């Protein structure tokens, strides 16, 4: 299998992970993935991966655990001893596929079809009973891993009955009669069986390869031809939809990120961590999407601009919330993703300070055409305005920035320092390549605060980490950022095979530490609802640990002369943190956020159906005046910690602005 490189983009973002594009060339070309391709592709993963270079027992075990979990995400198909037997016997698949034998995968597939039929039959019989009625006293552990597999058939049947009650309640909440809800629920399980039956051999091999990739780290994957096609559409930013990045977790479609400028972002009703449990296209019945393949969920949600889709959302918290939201599909407004500057005034000691807020939702662009938008060009222009307006300080808002172009992150970092290395990239051979500030110009040397959150990831962590290590800025926000410090490379395969996405590098800050896992810690911490153990790189299965490297902080970063800047001292940071703590303790908003975080920390993940029904009754049934919400829905039930409103700054941004004003005052 030969490899031919071709030029590509080097990207550090979550939503745009393309780095170096390579093409695998093999003859003759085949139209579909075969069992014989699996050994070659697993070998290629090992050749390119940053840390995993050979098959060992840990990778075998993680692959099989991931594969079985995807076969049975809700843990209703296999009993505890059956699952254990699978996980102990299936590692031999690697030896079998090496000799071109995938018969065990095909036999397992037939077994799964039979088990789906058995579950379908149980549900059909249960809801057909004359004495069936909704039991609102049932409780469900949402995380299948926490509840485990049933020990015996009686436990399995009890779990299925509980799931049925929750699913029926969804239909009743949507306004269906009990009989209609039962009919639709049976149809849902018929569809699950039908999907299992229709899986092709190529689907089986794709699933096994993707489970293997996921066992290496959470960002490596095998992109089947269909997934690869969807990925290319997203890369071209031509997708019409609701502007939400989704992931699959425990059989649920989970909101990972609300894309700035999208239709959902404008409504301000969804947030990361929300679980989508049903989708209803305009004029059609809702479709229960639990256990549905993510690509099928995306296709249900995606649609033509101007049409509407209704989502049923389950949100965890002190009291779990279930509500519907109707969203009109639209193209992402690129203007809303672009950098923006607003000027705010803050009073300190009888003086009015003029402070700038530069919001950067992503590192966008990639085209050097001067007529097209590029993040670094926009930021350069806005910093010129900061200088013309003679602002007293600048707040750089990265709190919604999930990443983007590495090159842009390096360039923008250089606007605030005179010279020096910005980030180092380590490859699989443990070579470190330092990317320096590309020019010796300092565009802004005044007081600088960087606002971050757990949403801030990848390229935004490179910018925040560099400014912190050079003591150029005060970092304010969640305890730390997301913690994604890995580089993914895309390797398109021959036609009909899709592509490989492989983690090929690690990022390191000028101080020598990596942003991987740890992220960038805040100098002045303030809470948001994303500051939980479930949100961040370290919460992902098989996430990589990173070593440290020798520091590469440059001595001349602050420059000299009238445009130079003074490094932030620890004494200044402590003084700013103390003032901020006093304001936060007096703030009702931050008290609510801390109380909610404390409740979530104690949350055992168990949902009581009676609570969901009671909440629906409490919120009432009927029309609501709130934009985007359908009849009978709960409004957004928690304080918004990372929302952005064009008319008003978020409470976190206001506090960061106060920290900046304190710094300006102290510096005088």
> Each residue of 308-359: pLDDT tens digit?
998 988 887 666 688 888 998 887 666 667 899 999 999 998 899 999 999 9
- Between CA 215 and CA 209 the distance in angstroms is 10
Please, which residues have CB within 8 angstroms of residue 179's CB and are 6 or more apart in sequence? none
In a domain, 633, yes or no: no
Residues of the chain by 3-state class (helix, strand, coil), percent to 5: 40, 20, 40
Radius of gyration (Cα) for the chain, nearest Å?
Answer: 26
- Residue 317 and residue 364 in one domain: no
In a domain, 222, yes or no: no
Would you tell me how many other CB atoms lie within 10 Å of the CB of residue 640?
18
Catalytic annotation, residues: 458, 469, 484
- Residue 170 and residue 181 in one domain: yes
- Between CA 239 and CA 229 the distance in angstroms is 12
- Residue 327 and residue 342 in one domain: no
- Residue 320 and residue 384 in one domain: no
> Each residue of 2-16: pLDDT tens digit?
333 232 333 343 333
pLDDT higher at 404 or 43: 43
- Residue 374 and residue 513 in one domain: yes
**What's the pLDDT at 558?**
85
**What's the pLDDT at 114?**
97
Long-range contacts of 186-195 (CB under 8 A, 24+ apart): 186/120, 186/123, 186/124, 186/127, 188/287, 188/288, 189/116, 189/119, 189/120, 189/123, 189/124, 190/120, 192/116, 192/119, 192/120, 192/291, 193/113, 193/116, 193/117, 193/120, 195/292, 195/293
Place of tokens 């060009």: 377
Backbone angles phi, psi at 357, to 5 degrees: -120, 110
Q: What CATH number did the domain enclosing 363 receive?
A: 3.90.226.10
Mean pLDDT of 504-509: 96
In a domain, 666, yes or no: no
DSSP three-state, residue 426 = strand
- Between CA 176 and CA 170 the distance in angstroms is 9
> Any idea of the CA torsion for 587, 588, 590, 594, to the nearest 10 degrees?
130
Question: Using alpha carbons only, what angle is made at residue 479 by residues 589 and 503, rounded to the nearest 5 degrees?
Answer: 130
In a domain, 613, yes or no: no
In a domain, 610, yes or no: no
- Residue 360 and residue 441 in one domain: yes
Residue 244: domain span: 238-331
**What's the pLDDT at 19?**
30
Q: From 296, 316, 331, give the residue that closes a domain.
A: 331
- Residue 253 and residue 363 in one domain: no
- Residue 327 and residue 347 in one domain: no
Instruction: Report residue 625 as tokens.
Output: 């005046």
- Between CA 39 and CA 223 the distance in angstroms is 16
Backbone angles phi, psi at 617, to 5 degrees: -65, -40
Q: What CATH number did the domain enclosing 314 receive?
A: 2.30.42.10
In a domain, 42, yes or no: no
Please, which residues have CB within 8 angstroms of residue 115's CB and are 6 or more apart in sequence? 77, 78
Count of residues for the chain?
668
pTM of the model: 0.81
Would you tell me how many other CB atoms lie within 10 Å of the CB of residue 613?
16
- Residue 136 and residue 189 in one domain: yes
Average pLDDT, the chain: 85
**What's the pLDDT at 335?**
64
pLDDT band at 370 (very low <50, low <70, confident <90, very high): low
Q: Does residue 360 carry a pLDDT above 50? A: yes
- Between CA 608 and CA 131 the distance in angstroms is 22
- Residue 352 and residue 481 in one domain: yes
> Each residue of 31-89: pLDDT tens digit?
689 999 999 999 999 999 999 999 999 999 999 999 999 999 999 999 999 999 999 99
Mean pLDDT of 252-264: 80
Q: From 504, 531, 566, give the residue that closes a domain.
A: 566
- Residue 451 and residue 534 in one domain: yes
> Each residue of 140-163: pLDDT tens digit?
998 899 999 999 999 999 999 999
Q: From 331, 356, 390, give the residue that closes a domain.
A: 331
Select the highest-mean-pLDDT range: 391-395, 595-599, 629-633: 391-395
- Between CA 526 and CA 12 the distance in angstroms is 26
Of 654, 668, 533, 529, nearest in space to 596 by CA: 529
- Between CA 487 and CA 426 the distance in angstroms is 9
Mean pLDDT of 535-539: 90
Would you tell me how many other CB atoms lie within 10 Å of the CB of residue 488?
26
**What's the pLDDT at 514?**
96
**What's the pLDDT at 88?**
93
**What's the pLDDT at 282?**
79
In a domain, 415, yes or no: yes
In a domain, 653, yes or no: no
Of 400, 379, 94, 437, nearest in space to 261 by CA: 400
Tally the domains of the chain.
Answer: 3
- Residue 319 and residue 344 in one domain: no
């Amino acid at each position: 299998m030969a490899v031919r490189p071709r030029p590509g983009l080097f990207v550090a973002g979550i939503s745009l992970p393309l780095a170096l594009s390579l093409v695998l060339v093999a003859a003759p070309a085949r139209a579909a993935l075969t069992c014989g391709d699996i050994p070659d592709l697993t070998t290629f993963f090992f050749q390119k991966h940053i840390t995993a270079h050979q098959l060992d027992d840990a990778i075998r075990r993680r692959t099989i655990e991931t594969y079985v979990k995807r076969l049975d995400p809700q843990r209703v198909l296999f009993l505890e001893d059956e699952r254990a037997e699978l996980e102990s016997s299936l590692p031999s698949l690697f030896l079998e596929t090496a000799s071109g034998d995938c018969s065990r995968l095909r036999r397992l597939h037939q077994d799964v079809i039979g088990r789906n039929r058995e579950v379908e039959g149980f549900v059909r019989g249960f809801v057909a009973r004359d004495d069936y009625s909704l039991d609102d006293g049932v409780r469900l552990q949402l995380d299948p891993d926490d509840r485990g597999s049933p020990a015996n058939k009686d436990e399995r049947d009890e779990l299925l009955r509980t799931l049925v009650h929750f699913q029926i309640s969804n239909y009743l909440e949507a306004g269906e009669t009990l009989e209609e809800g039962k009919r639709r629920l049976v149809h849902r399980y018929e569809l699950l069986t039908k999907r299992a039956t229709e899986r092709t051999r190529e689907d089986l091999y794709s699933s096994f390869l993707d489970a293997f990739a996921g066992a290496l780290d959470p960002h490596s994957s095998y992109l089947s031809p269909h997934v690869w096609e969807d990925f290319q559409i997203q890369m071209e930013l031509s997708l019409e939809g609701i502007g939400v990045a989704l992931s699959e977790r425990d059989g649920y479609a989970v909101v990972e990120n609300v894309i700035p400028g999208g239709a959902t972002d404008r409504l301000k009703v969804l947030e990361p961590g929300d679980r989508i449990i049903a989708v209803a296209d305009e004029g059609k019945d809702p479709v229960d999407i639990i256990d549905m393949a993510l690509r099928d969920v995306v296709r249900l949600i995606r649609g033509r601009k101007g049409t509407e889709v209704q989502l049923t959302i389950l949100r965890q918290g002190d009291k779990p919330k279930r509500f519907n939201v109707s969203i009109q599909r639209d193209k992402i407004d690129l203007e809303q993703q672009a950098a923006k500057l607003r000027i705010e005034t803050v009073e300190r000691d009888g003086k009015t300070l003029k402070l700038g807020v530069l919001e950067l939702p992503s590192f966008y662009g990639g085209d050097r055409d001067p007529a097209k938008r590029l993040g670094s060009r926009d930021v350069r222009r806005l910093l010129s305005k900061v200088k013309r307006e003679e602002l007293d300080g600048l707040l750089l808002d990265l709190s919604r920035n999930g990443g983007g172009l590495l090159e842009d992150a390096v360039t923008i970092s250089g606007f605030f320092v005179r010279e020096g290395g910005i980030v180092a990239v380590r490859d699989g051979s443990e070579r470190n390549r330092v990317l320096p500030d590309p020019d010796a110009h300092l565009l802004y040397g005044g007081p600088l605060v960087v606002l971050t959150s757990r949403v801030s990831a990848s390229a935004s962590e490179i910018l925040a980490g560099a400014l912190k290590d050079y003591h150029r800025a005060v970092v304010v926000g969640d305890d730390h950022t997301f913690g994604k410090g890995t580089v993914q490379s895309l390797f398109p395969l021959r036609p009909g095979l899709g592509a490989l996405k492989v983690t090929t590098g690690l990022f390191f800050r000028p101080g020598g530490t990596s942003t991987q896992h740890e992220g960038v810690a805040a100098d002045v911490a303030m809470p948001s609802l994303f500051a939980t153990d479930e949100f961040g790189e370290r919460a992902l299965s098989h996430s990589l640990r990173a070593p440290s490297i020798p520091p590469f902080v440059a001595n001349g970063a602050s420059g000299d002369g009238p445009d130079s800047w003074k490094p932030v001292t620890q004494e200044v940071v402590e003084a700013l943190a103390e003032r901020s703590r006093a304001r936060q303790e007096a703030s009702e908003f931050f008290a609510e956020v801390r109380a909610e975080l404390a409740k979530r920390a104690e949350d055992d993940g168990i949902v009581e159906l009676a609570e969901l029904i009671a909440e629906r009754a409490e919120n009432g049934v009927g029309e609501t005046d709130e934009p985007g919400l359908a009849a009978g829905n709960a409004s957004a039930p928690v304080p918004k910690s990372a929302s952005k409103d064009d008319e008003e700054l978020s409470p976190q941004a206001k506090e960061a602005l106060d920290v900046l004003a304190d710094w300006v005052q102290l510096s005088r």
